[in-house]
Structure 1
Amino acid sequence: MKSLPNKIANRIKRIRQIPIEKSYQKELPANHQAEDVFLVSYPKSGNTWLRFLIANALKVHYQIEREVNFFTVHDIIPSLTFSRNLRYEGPFGRTDLPRIIKSHSAYNPYYQRVIFMVRDPRDVLISYYHYLKSFGAIPDSWTVSELIRDRKFGTEAWNQHTKGWYVSNKEGQNIQLFYYEEFIKNPQANLDRLMDILGIKMTDGELKEAIELSSKENMRKSEEVHRSTYVIKTQETRFVRKGEATGGKSLNEVDKKYLEDATREVAQLIGYNF
């Protein structure tokens, strides 16, 4: 059988690629810009805390009076979860800064500049369970055991998301890896590195102030003030939980073994050993 002429073969290839291209576009801002910086993570890996840290760092560095809280952070560093229609300006409406955008998207080759935050999958999935349950996204009857074994939310989903971003690195993409646990241990050094990537040199005093403004205590206070804006099932629900690095301490032995066995290969790939 003769091969197709190059022009026809290339056209067929382009046609086959169209659905894939469209699926990538769905996870991009409607007005995508090459300079956009994406804060990418699997849900409950510290992305919200990261947004507070960056927003407060910019607030302190540029001496901006606007408060960073659970209401304003969505405007300062928007999330693609809520809308693809984003303003053209960067954080705080500044035109001299790139837009910084939160995303839980699977690997996307159109994300040119990426801050990729990872967290121990054992802690991620426990936190994700409580989060999903509080918003009624999973049945009330579900236990952690069912969540970690679920294809949509559990270990399989975490593996695919994490491996996709770690392995699939298109030429021209700049993907910078950060660890949630390292941010807890040494927030100043990690925030300094992150801001340096954004092209902003912070003083030690500025870094310390931004970290204090973004402390769990201050975030909880902010959450309490703005609770009325959340769609939650009970008033006891908290978006800001302990945020500790426990290695899945609250799991029973059967679930812990299952979760570790299911995620070990990908976890080791990005630097976790258990």
Structure 2
Amino acid sequence: MPANSIRSLHRSFGKSIGRLAPEWVVDRYRHWTTDAYVVSFPKSGRTWFRTMLGTALQLQFGTRAVDPTSVHLMWMLDPNVPRLLFTHDVNAHLNHVDAIGWDGQRYRNKKTILLVRDPRDTIVSLYYEMTKRVRAYDGPIDAFIRQEAGGIASLVAFLNSWMRNLHQIRESLLLTYEDLHAQPHAAVRAALAFVGAGEVSEDNIAEAIRLSSFEAMRRMERAGEVGHVRLRPGDVADPQSYKVRSGRIGGYREVLSPRDCAFLDDYIARHLNPRLARYKHAVTAG
């Protein structure tokens, strides 16, 4: 049976199984049909990356019936679109540092993109997510970054577990938020090729990056153009409650005290996996 026919069959079956089967069956089916995973710790730039990929796929395959952040659904509109699943894996931001591990069984035989960001910018962004959007934390930021469940220790433990085990995955791609900023075209092109999207045109990639700029995404969020909660502010009047805040590299220095910056610098320098050595030094906001 031709590959397109098989994918069309999966598409029809997938629509039915989602309505009729128990959750564990749905999870197994999703894993079985997934072409590639995108794994990240929360607030590592996933929504931006997701929007760039989704917009490029929309332009290439004409899947505009779903919003660009719903890239995981586009395969239902065109069987040639790779099926992508975005995940925070073990949700390390909700777990004590001692409980964070790596379950490689799910990823070993699947293409997997690991998206990482400077832990200092990540943890500050997570603080605003937890206080302004989901409202799961109401303490000060200095206590937040030091807590053993969801603070910098949990974030570093998550990154370390992945860096130690990335070699066990048959096909993996490490992308950084900072590289997405510095060379977005090259990074998006590499990701699209890696997940099996075929020859996406250079013009479509460039247009996807333009349409997914922080200014454009902030405008979409403010206007409610994307119906899903993933791109909706906690409070339209509060800039810090937006999913898309500033996205600046090194912006943590504008939020944290010198004492808190020194604490994070020291913790990262002492504990972060050497393969992420680029983050073992202070970053200038810019």
Partner of 2:235: 234
**Deviations, residues 14-53 of structure 1 (Å, cap 9, x unaligned):** xxxxxxxxxxx98x93412164311111110001111101
Structure 2: unaligned runs, 5 residues or longer? 1-22, 91-101, 282-286
Sequence identity percentage:
24
Contact 1:121–1:267 (CA under 8 A) maintained in structure 2: no
Q: How far apart are the structure 1 equivalents of 2:205 and 2:142?
A: 40
Select the residue among 206, 209, 230 that pairs with 1:208: 206
**SS of match in other structure, 1:271:** helix
**SS of match in other structure, 1:33:** helix
Q: Does 1:244 align with 2:270?
A: no
Contact 1:118–1:179 (CA under 8 A) maintained in structure 2: yes
Partner of 1:21: none
Q: Does 1:138 align with 2:136?
A: yes
* Structure ranking higher in helix proportion: 2
Partner of 2:123: 125
Partner of 2:218: 220
Instruction: Give the aligned CA root-mean-square deviation in angstroms.
Output: 2.5
Q: How far apart are the structure 1 equivalents of 2:216 and 2:66?
A: 12
Q: Does 1:57 align with 2:19?
A: no
Deviation at 1:138, TM superposition (A): 3.3
Which is further off, 256-265 or 176-185?
256-265
Deviation at 1:198, TM superposition (A): 1.9
**Deviations, residues 88-142 of structure 1 (Å, cap 9, x unaligned):** xx535332333211101133311222111100011001111011101344333x1
Partner of 2:103: 108
Partner of 2:145: 148
TM-score, with length taken from structure 1: 0.76
Q: How far apart are the structure 1 equivalents of 2:228 and 2:200?
A: 33
Structure 1: unaligned runs, 5 residues or longer? 1-24, 79-89
Which is further off, 151-160 or 168-177?
168-177
Q: How far apart are the structure 1 equivalents of 2:188 and 2:195?
A: 11
**Deviations, residues 168-227 of structure 1 (Å, cap 9, x unaligned):** 136453221001011001100111111111232222211111101111111112212228
Evaluate the alpha carbon distance shift between residue 49 and residue 267 of structure 1 in structure 2; reply closer, same or farther with a 3 A threshold.
farther
Greater gyration radius: 1
